[in-house]
Amino acid sequence: MIEMTGCTSPTPRHAGNQPPALTTAVIGQVITQMTEVMVHDITNPPLAARFFSYACLAGYEVVAQNNSAFKSMHGSLKDYPALKQPDTIQQYDVRLSALLAMLATAQKMQPSGKLLAVFEQQLLDSCRHLGYTDDVINNSKRYAMAVSKKILAYAKADRYNLISNYPRYTPLDKAGCWYPTPPAFLPAVEPYFNTVRTLALDTCMQFPAPPPVAFSTGKKTAFYKLLLANYTEGRKVPAEHRIIAAFWDCNPFAIQDDGHLILSSKKISPGAHWLGITGIACEKAGKGFEESMQIYTSVAVGLLDAFICCWDEKFRSNRIRPETAIRKYIDPQWVPVLQTPPFPEYLSGHSVISACSATILTHFFGNNFSYTDNVEVAYGLPPRSFTSFQQAAQEAAISRFYGGIHFMDAIENGLVVGGKVGQWVIQKMNFRP
């Protein structure tokens, strides 16, 4: 059974005896279970953000339909439908329905979503242990399924399912352009992700980045200076820089070629890391279940829009990665600390989504919210402490330079664009801290 600590007074709609209510921590457990399925499926970062956003919207919709303090996303998010409360269902638990709506949505959207059925059963067994009646549990699930069905229809209309009809992406074998990198030379990840419907942004190009520093092999050019900076850092990376690079790596499928055998290691996505930070903040601040669901949903919406925005720029500018450029023009033996991800360099995705998430979390928790990030302890990484979300975002961004996979202009401009996306999400969703 799932351990439920810090139980509060029961949520509305309970019938008969009222057992303790589900808490904020259980939302984080659902996110963790979703993450584990994504790790199992090797879900790429943009697609992971899509899964999280719709699952969180399903959970939040249940909350909004049952608590007037939390407004519907109809009129705030693009094409979000006006969803009516299923009034034929009575005697349900709002929080349990919200969690089950998240799980129902995730089970349908994630390739191995059926694996979540085990966790769902543990959740229901725990509720029975706490005193929830079978009627309340069954009605809560019926309510969740009704909401999830509507959210899944909303997700289906975002055009992601059309991407499989597009032609296979072919890298340009041209100076200055991105090309697959060793050891696996993987194909480009989600080259058409900019065609997916945004949620809060008007378009994927609403906050355009300035053009990247122009490619050049001239040794006195701005690009060559960027190249030398990466090369110099990578020749003798300080121990602390290696630690920071590893902490924020979040590479869903790192491949290592030892000369005889190709090995792989799976890790969580960048979005999962920031949603984990969201859970840490909600619990430390003592946020209630409903407000926590609101915060999780805000961050998840921001993640999806930030990835769509960033991927639009990546495949437009189509810039070469440091590893490719350094090996070709400076040192053929140079190897970055981190494995180079399989998509173009500009902008830095970590910079964009970290700045976006930090901006949204700062809105809810303030500028000086200190916390310890232990999200990836399960993946063998020790915790790190931060004095603010912005400090964490800055570190996440510079980690890509330390890791040797991004140029500094992609990092700096990524932070600016991500901050703008985050501010827009806050404005559109209109959630007060």
Q: What is the pLDDT of residue 4?
A: 57
Q: Give CA–CA dist 394/411, Å, rounded.
A: 9
* Exposure class string for 409-424: b at 16+ Cβ within 10 A, else e: bbbbbbbebbbbbbbb
Residue 351, C-beta contacts closer than 8 angstroms, at least 6 positions apart: 393, 396, 397, 400, 406, 410, 411, 412, 413, 414, 415, 418
Q: What is the pLDDT of residue 112?
A: 97
Q: What is the pLDDT of residue 2?
A: 64
Ranges of the chain whose pLDDT falls below 70: 1-20, 252-266
Q: What is the pLDDT of residue 87?
A: 85
Residue 19, C-beta contacts closer than 8 angstroms, at least 6 positions apart: 10, 127, 130, 131, 132
Q: Strands, E, within 201-325: which ranges?
A: 254-257, 262-265
Between the alpha carbon of residue 382 and those of residues 243, 341, 377, the distances in Å are 9, 23, 6
Q: What is the pLDDT of residue 6?
A: 38
What pTM does this model have?
0.94
Q: Strands, E, within 21-163: which ranges?
A: none
Q: What is the pLDDT of residue 20?
A: 62
Amino acid found at 305: D
Q: Give CA–CA dist 60/73, Å, rounded.
A: 9
Q: What is the pLDDT of residue 166?
A: 96
Q: For the segment 13-65, what is each residue's pLDDT rounded down to a tens digit?
A: 533 344 567 999 999 999 999 999 999 999 999 999 999 999 999 999 999 99
Q: Give CA–CA dist 241/381, Å, rounded.
A: 14
Does 347 sit behind a cis peptide bond, omega within 30 degrees of 0 on the bond before it? Answer: yes
Q: What is the pLDDT of residue 266?
A: 67
* Residue 340 neighbours by CB distance under 10 Å: 23
* Residue 84 neighbours by CB distance under 10 Å: 9
In the three-class reduction of DSSP (H, G, I as helix; E, B as strand; rest coil), residue 17 is classed as coil
